[in-house]
Amino acid sequence: MNNNLKCTAVLLAAGKGSRMNSDVYKQFLLINQKPVLYYSLQCFETSSLIDDIVLVTGKDMIEQCQRIIEEYQFTKVSAIVPGGKERYDSVYKGLLSCKDTDYVFIHDGARPFVTHDILKRCFEAVKLTGACVTGIPSKDTVKLSDEEGFVKDTPDRRNVWIIQTPQVFSYPLITNAHKKIREEGTEGITDDAMIIERVTDVPVKLAEGSYENIKITTPEDIAVAEAFLKRLDQN
Ligand code: CTP
Ligand code: MG
């Protein structure tokens, strides 16, 4: 509890991981003998900022999640709820399952390397306007293309950020924005900040993430994650 403000993590694990090409859904793949999902659960569980965790997963994955919670004795998971077809459907279901909360930390269960420092930076940032996203400055030059595959524009790299999660919002702000976008159309929505950008005038603050806060997406990410864990073990 922070100054009587309640913070809930909405942890997303309802995806099918099609780009991973694995029989086991990627949130349950083992890295250093623990499931990918364990690592973000552990970070939220041990963070003094977080009061409870709403875990969103597939209908057919609820039991598997319960087993992880029991095995590692996580105590903050207040609900396990079935997700939806798209990521924003899963987020919406998670939001509707939050109880009397002030801020929500929406996080991809496929990002095991979120840290307490990132959560703290997000919490400071979200207090400014009620909306913040984690990101890191792009290391590469980014170009915008036209429909024919020709370069149209090159934005100044200093203003280009690669977006990660957590994305943290005032609960009423993000819940109302989700309700509104469902009426107006969800075409092209890939993250939660986009919903705030489309249906509100609220500025979204960027909070610094980390280059290690990767999303496990394709098979080579597993090798990268193992390497990160090995380095952490050595320190
Ligand atoms: N997610 C979710 N519900 C969905 C889709 C995605 O909860 N309908 C979650 C995933 O479990 C993941 C996070 O959102 O933790 C980021 O999504 P992504 O990396 O795209 O995961 P998947 O959709 O599972 O993978 P893919 O796009 O390769 O199928
Ligand atoms: Mg996906």
CATH superfamily of the domain spanning 7-135+161-234? Spore Coat Polysaccharide Biosynthesis Protein SpsA; Chain A (3.90.550.10)
Is there a contact between 164 and 195 (Cβ–Cβ < 8 Å)? no
- The atom number, within ligand 1, closest to the CA of 85 reads 8
- Can you tell me the distance from the alpha carbon of 45 to that of 212, in angstroms, rounded to the nearest whole number? 20
Say whether 170 sits in a helix, a strand or coil: strand
Q: Which two tokens stand for residue 106?
A: 């929406």
Where along the chain do its domains lie? 7-135+161-234
Cα–Cα distance list, 113 to 38, 128, 138, 213 (Å): 10, 25, 18, 5
Ligand nearest to the CA of 216: 1
Is there a contact between 114 and 213 (Cβ–Cβ < 8 Å)? yes
- Asked if residue 210 has its Cβ within 6 Å of ligand 1, the reply is no
* Cβ within 8 Å of residue 227, ≥6 positions away: none
pTM > 0.95: yes or no: yes
Per-residue model confidence as pLDDT tens for the chain (235 residues)? 556 899 999 999 999 999 999 999 999 999 999 999 999 999 999 999 999 999 999 999 999 999 999 999 999 999 999 999 999 999 999 999 999 999 999 999 999 999 999 999 999 999 999 999 999 999 999 999 999 999 999 999 999 999 999 999 999 999 999 999 999 999 999 999 999 999 999 999 999 999 999 999 999 999 999 999 998 888 7
- Can you tell me the distance from the alpha carbon of 76 to that of 54, in angstroms, rounded to the nearest whole number? 9
